[in-house]
Amino acid sequence: MAPVSKGPWLDDDEQKAWRSYLLMHRTLKAHLERHLQRDFGLSGSDFEILVNLSESESGRMRAFELSRATQWEKSRLSHHLARMEKRGLIRKEACDSRYPEIVVTEEGLAAIKESAPAQAALVRQFFVDVFGPDRLAVLGEVADEIVGTIGTHCDTDCPLEARS
């Protein structure tokens, strides 16, 4: 179909780079997740939660901390944690506050210990080594800049997000 509108569009080069970026992210994510599922029976979401918990000070976090770290919506997080609890990867533990802590179990810790090196090897092969050190360093800088820019924007101009 014809382009849907003339507006504040990206020019051809910008559009091409943006689409290449999106396709890279999608392709890489799907590739990492297929290996994770096939070799370790974990989904990308399982892995993300387990990485966050296993790297936390005490192997335990509150749901709002996990929600902030993953940027998942509350309902997605809560459904996913329920599924992980049934599979014995995490458990919920009452603590001082009204809200329980999410704790990684021995089984969850074993799953991340086993799968993380294989994921790291794939990240090296298909991301780090293709970028190479110089281009990777530039990417890291720009990425930090973008996160900072969105953060500043949200603090000042975006009350919707500042509240979340």
Q: Is 103 in the site for its own copies (CB under 8 A)?
A: no
Task: State in angstroms the smallest separation of the CB of 152 from its own copies.
Answer: 11
Does 116 engage in binding with its own copies (CB under 8 A)?
yes
Instruction: With residue 92 as reference, give the H or E element that holds it.
Output: strand 90-93
The yes or no reply on residue 159 touching its own copies (CB under 8 A) is: no
**Cα(45)–Cα(10) distance, integer angstroms:** 32
User: Is 13 or 98 the residue whose CB approaches its own copies more closely?
Assistant: 13
CA distances from 109 to 65, 85, 105, 113 (A): 19, 13, 6, 6
Query: Residues with Cβ < 8 Å from 42, sequence gap 6 or more?
Result: 36, 50, 111, 115
CB 101 within 8 A of CB 93: yes
Q: Which of 12, 97, 117, 156 binds its own copies (CB under 8 A)?
A: 117
Binding of its own copies at residue 54 (CB under 8 A)? yes
Which range touches its own copies (CB under 8 A), out of 79-87, 93-101, 138-146?
Answer: 138-146
Determine, following the binding rule CB under 8 A, whether residue 131 of this chain makes contact with its own copies.
yes
Is there a contact between 109 and 42 (Cβ–Cβ < 8 Å)? no
Among the listed residues 79, 83, 135, 155, the single contact to its own copies using CB under 8 A? 135
Buried b (16+ CB within 10 A) or exposed e, 7-37: eeeeeeeeeeeeeeeeeeeeeeeeebbebbe
Q: Which residues bind its own copies (CB under 8 A)?
A: 1, 4-5, 7-10, 13-14, 16-18, 20-21, 23-31, 34, 38, 54-59, 70-71, 109, 112-113, 116-117, 120-121, 123-124, 126-128, 130-131, 133, 135-140, 142-147, 149-151, 153-154, 160-161, 164
